[in-house]
Structure formats: structure tokens, C-alpha cells
Amino acid sequence: MRNTINLLFLTCAVIVSCTRHQPADAIFFNGTIYTVDNQNPVVEAVAVKNGRIVSAGKLPMVKEMAGTSTQMIDLKGYTMTPGFIESHGHFLGMGMNNLELDLLSTTSYEEIIQMVKEAAHRARPGEWITGRGWHQSKWDSIPKPAFRGFPIHEKLSEVSPDNPVYLRHASGHAGLANARAMSIAGVNQLSVEKLQHEVNGGEIIKDEYGNPTGVFTENAEKLISDKIPLPDEEKNYKAFLSAVNSCHANGITSFVDAGVDARDIDLYRKAIANGDLKVRLYVMLSGDEADLLKEWYAKGPEIDTVNFMFTIRSIKLYADGALGSRGAWLLHEYSDRPGWYGNIVTPMDTILSISNEGLKNGFQVCTHAIGDRANREVLDNYEKAFAKHPEATDPRFRIEHAQHIDPDDLGRFAQLKVIAAMQAIHMSSDRPWAIDRLGDERIKEGAYMWQSLLNSGAVIVNGTDVPVEPIDPIACFYASVTRKTLKGVPEGGYESEERMTRDQALRSYTLDGAYGTFEENVKGSIKVGKLADFTVFSQDIMKVDESKLLDTEVMMTVLGGKEVFKNNNY
Ligand SMILES: [Zn+2]
């Protein structure tokens, strides 16, 4: 008995002395805190120490961890969630986009011409003017002249006769060049047929007289983009820093970078050495770099199990193009282009062999597939590889976008445990015109099938594909739960039965996002022991009226217990 009492006394003393000598670094309180932890879904306060969560629950309990040095962070009634995970974006693309002409919000071709005109005045002689993010479906009217719905280069060439211009489409699968850029690339009426012949999977769009219109799709884009001098190291680094800031300002604490090469990896290593990597990066190796893959197969994945800041354990492939430029690979012809089925970007036997190598060498494979044919082919090849490598028990292969799936293939995601990396915001932006490409029946039965996939047991990870869309997770969350455009139409949403619930949408951006990178045990929910990554919103995104959801602001972003962003209105 005495021993028990002694032991009890000793234990108490240890606990008291622990709390006394090792107080929490910070305690977050006075807000609504959604944990995404089923055991404890809403808590009053969270304590953090050394970058980890050490207590989460009722305020009096969490306060036990307070000491004189503990920073008390008043959430002022705001709403806190686990740090948001962008599950598919292009990190340096986003940063570079911040440095280029940003055409994402342009609403007419005229506006773009004006921006290029001003840029041409500022540019050095011969300097390239680049921009990204235009989309003809976002314009108030079709430009004149236009061809197949796309603009023609003439006006662009007029305002910038001496500076080559290349403006990439929001989808990332097409671009518009001016005359100077085409002349540098040797594209003209005489050469166009020959060049078209050499392009594998892509199109130099020509008008009815055979003149190139300035629009290049898929692999044809390389004719122009290969001529643009690569940004130097300094510009790349600027882009990197700008990307980190964009993440913080948007509440993003983890980012999945969908396709990097050796140069990008060098840049990231430099940033780590400089202490500038302040977002958890999970990068996919670009699958079209054969030497890079070889190198990584030999050395195996690099998994950061100490700081969880930088991990390389996956490979990015492209099965097809995008729907906007009619590059998505379909089982049946396009509704608005008879006889056309889209583009195969990577041969299927390459996808199979990389899947096999991935399983053999411990790499996750993530394949871009938009059209129903592309999705089926990728599932088929994944299935073959899984059958050949039963020893790989938890490969978590992913299909990036998984936009349009034949009803026969829907259940295969759950069956094969293939993750659907979907970007809800794409539905919001694309659904109004996607119906032209696919027609009523295919849209209703197979496009953006979130609830059907979730019901079947598949995991969806959410994101924006930034810079295809702005990185804003609030717009994407809104799209996930409403299936409306950002203008709030249509009433009730498109195919509303496929909406996510708010719980599902939150999970897709947090815990399920972490599952998509094998990190669900260290992040994605607010739970003792996990990384202290949090996003603080101005209002309760789980309860606020749908019509007010888009007014939500990110108030604070916390990475590893440290504040990395605070809104001026906080
Ligand atoms: Zn992408």
C-alpha cells in the first residue's frame, strides 16, 4: 500500500514537474477548433511544443500546459482547422506566375492586348513577354477574329512587334504566340505542315487558309516554349520565395508539387540550406525525365521523417491532355468535334513500365488522366502492375484529376485503392463549357463524380492545380460543397447529388490530403503528437451560410507551431 502511495506521489510529482519545467510553447484558445479527429471533433484549445501538438481539448485541461514563457494565442472567435494541404499544384509555376503577366482574371481578349502593350513598353529589346492563365470561356465576348473559339495572334503581334510574346492557356495545355515568337520558332505558312508532322500529340492551329493562328496545343507548344530562354537561377529563386508567400497567405501549410526536374530539386535543396523552405513540400519526379528516374530508382525514395519538410517518393506521368483544348482522351468522340478523341501524351506501355519500376523501388505513381479513356487505361495499367508486384502492399498510386470516368470504372478506384486527386474548383470553372465537349449524358454520368467516388470507398485529395487556378482553398472548398460557379450559379449546383458534405471537403483538404502523401500519422488532424500546422479562418466554414462562404478570409497560418502569416485585419 505504502509503495502504491509512494508510486502515486512520485508519478504526480513527475507530471507536475514536467508541466512546470516544460511548459507549452504556445496555446491557441478562444475559437472554434475543428480537429478532423473523430474521437474529439471540436476542441476549445490546443497546446503546442517543439512544433508538435501536446494537448487538445477543453480549455482548463489544455491550460495545465501553460507556463510563464507560454505564448497565449487568442483566436478571437475565429475558426481553426488543421493546416490545409494543397494536394496538386505546381510550386515554381505558381511562383513564376506571380512574376509573369497574370491573366487568370482577365475577362476579354482586349484586356490581355492592353496588358501586353504595357509590358512591351517596359521590356528590353527582344525580351520575351510571357503570361499565363487566359481562358476564352471566361471572356465576355468571343474576340474578332477568332478561330475555333480561340483568338488569333494579329492584335497581339501589332502591340508587340519586336518582343516575342507567349501566353499560356489557364489549362496549361495550350498557348498563344505572336508573330515575333513564331518567327523565332520558324513557324510560318510554308513550314507549318512539316512541323505539324513532327509534333507528336498536339496541334498548330491553322485558319482556313493554312496560316498558323498563333495557338499551339499540347506537345506543339514546345515549338514555342523551347525557344523561351530558361529563367536564370536568381529569377527561379524569386519565384520560389513568392510561392512560399502565396501558400502562407492562403492558409496552405503543405504542398504537393506535381512534377519536378533535377534543377528544381537543386533549387529546393538550396532553399532548405538557406532556411527558406517554410512549406512542407512533397514532390513528384517528372516522369518524362528518364535519367532522373533512373537515378532515383537506384537511390530509392527520400522521406523526411525528422522535419517532414521535403519528401521525394513519387513520380508524375501524363496519360492525356486537358478537356478545354480537346486533349483529354475519350472513349467516344467529342460532342463538339466529331471524329476526335483527344491526345495520348505518354504511351501506355511506358505508364506500365514506370508503374512496375515504381512498385519495385518504393515510389508512388501519380498519373494525370482527364478523359474517360485515359482514366480506364491508367487503371488497367496500374492493375497489371499491382498484380505483378503483390509484395508492394500499400502503394497508394494516384490518378491526378480523374475528371471524367466511365460509370463502369468508378468502383475501380476503391477496389484498387487508387487515390483520386481531384480539384473541385475545376468543376466550378469548367462545367459551364465542359458540357459542350462531353454532352449531357456523359457529364451527368461521369464527370466530377465526388460523392459517387467517396461512397464507393475511394479517397479524394483536393487542391487547385495552381497556377491553373488560384491556390485559394476557400474557393475550392466552396466549389466542393456547392458545385456552383464562383458567381453562385446554378441554383442548387450542377449535379448536386455529387456535392461533398462540409466534413468530406474538410477531410479532402486535410487528413485525406495527408493520406495521399503517406503522412496521415503525422499531420492532417489536430491530435496529440501530430505536427502543429493550423489554418485560421475569419468565419466558421463548417456552418456559415453557403452564400457567405466565399467571404471567408485566411486570418492566420501556423506551421510547426510558428505563425507564418497573419492577416492585417486580425
Ligand atoms: Zn497539374
Q: What is the pLDDT of residues 161-206, one digit of tens each?
A: 999 999 999 888 899 999 999 999 999 999 999 999 999 889 999 9
pLDDT at 353 over 80: yes
Q: For position 359, what pLDDT does the model report?
A: 98
Q: For position 407, what pLDDT does the model report?
A: 98
- Rounded distance between C-alpha atoms, residue 288 and residue 200, angstroms: 14
Are 176 and 151 in contact by the 8 Å Cβ rule? The answer is yes
Q: For position 105, what pLDDT does the model report?
A: 86
List of residues 6+ apart from 250 with CB closer than 8 A: 84, 471, 472, 473, 554, 557
- Å from CA of 140 to ligand 1 middle: 26
* Cα–Cα nearest to 476, from 85, 64, 5, 197: 85
Q: What is the pLDDT of residues 381-397, one digit of tens each?
A: 999 999 999 999 999 99
- Å from CA of 1 to ligand 1 middle: 66
- Å from CA of 570 to ligand 1 middle: 33
- Å from CA of 336 to ligand 1 middle: 25
Q: What is the pLDDT of residues 277-313, one digit of tens each?
A: 999 999 999 999 999 999 999 999 999 999 999 999 9
Angle of helix 233-249 relative to helix 262-274, nearest 10 degrees, comes to 70
**Length reported for the chain:** 570
Q: Which residue has the higher pLDDT, 20 or 506?
A: 506
- Å from CA of 534 to ligand 1 middle: 25
List of residues 6+ apart from 288 with CB closer than 8 A: 317, 318, 346
- Å from CA of 91 to ligand 1 middle: 10
Homologous superfamily of 2-77 in CATH? Urease, subunit C, domain 1 (2.30.40.10)
- Å from CA of 553 to ligand 1 middle: 25
- Rounded distance between C-alpha atoms, residue 476 and residue 464, angstroms: 7
- Rounded distance between C-alpha atoms, residue 25 and residue 50, angstroms: 7
The three cell numbers locating residue 38: 473523430
pLDDT > 90: percent of the chain: 88
Q: Which amino acid is at 27?
A: I
Q: For position 312, what pLDDT does the model report?
A: 98
Q: Are strands 419-421 and 42-49 parallel, antiparallel or unpaired?
A: unpaired
pLDDT at 16 over 90: no
- Å from CA of 28 to ligand 1 middle: 35
- Å from CA of 205 to ligand 1 middle: 23
List of residues 6+ apart from 478 with CB closer than 8 A: 428, 484, 486, 546, 549, 550
Architecture per CATH, domain 91-225, reads as Roll (3.10)
- Å from CA of 55 to ligand 1 middle: 37
pLDDT-based confidence at residue 13 (cuts at 50, 70, 90):
very low
* Cα–Cα nearest to 151, from 163, 165, 161, 162: 165
Which CATH fold would you assign to the domain 232-524? TIM Barrel (3.20.20)
Model confidence, pTM: 0.83
Lowest mean pLDDT segment, chosen from 31-40, 165-174, 368-377: 165-174
Are 85 and 513 in contact by the 8 Å Cβ rule? The answer is yes
pLDDT at 432 over 50: yes
- Å from CA of 403 to ligand 1 middle: 12
- Å from CA of 52 to ligand 1 middle: 31
pLDDT > 70: percent of the chain: 96
Q: Which amino acid is at 396?
A: R
Q: For position 19, what pLDDT does the model report?
A: 45
Q: For position 1, what pLDDT does the model report?
A: 43
pLDDT-based confidence at residue 145 (cuts at 50, 70, 90):
confident
Average pLDDT, the chain: 94
Please state the rounded mean pLDDT for residues 71-84.
98
pLDDT-based confidence at residue 18 (cuts at 50, 70, 90):
very low
- Å from CA of 250 to ligand 1 middle: 18
- Å from CA of 258 to ligand 1 middle: 6
pLDDT-based confidence at residue 232 (cuts at 50, 70, 90):
confident
Please state the rounded mean pLDDT for residues 433-447.
96
- Å from CA of 204 to ligand 1 middle: 22
- Rounded distance between C-alpha atoms, residue 266 and residue 286, angstroms: 14
77 torsion bin: left (phi>0), alpha (psi -120 to 50), beta (else): left
Q: For position 8, what pLDDT does the model report?
A: 46
- Å from CA of 221 to ligand 1 middle: 16
- Å from CA of 252 to ligand 1 middle: 17
- Å from CA of 328 to ligand 1 middle: 14
Q: For position 7, what pLDDT does the model report?
A: 47
- Å from CA of 468 to ligand 1 middle: 7
- Å from CA of 251 to ligand 1 middle: 20
For the chain, give every residue range classified as CATH 3.10.310.70. 91-225
Q: For position 124, what pLDDT does the model report?
A: 87
- Å from CA of 461 to ligand 1 middle: 13
Q: Which amino acid is at 450?
A: W
- Rounded distance between C-alpha atoms, residue 213 and residue 153, angstroms: 6
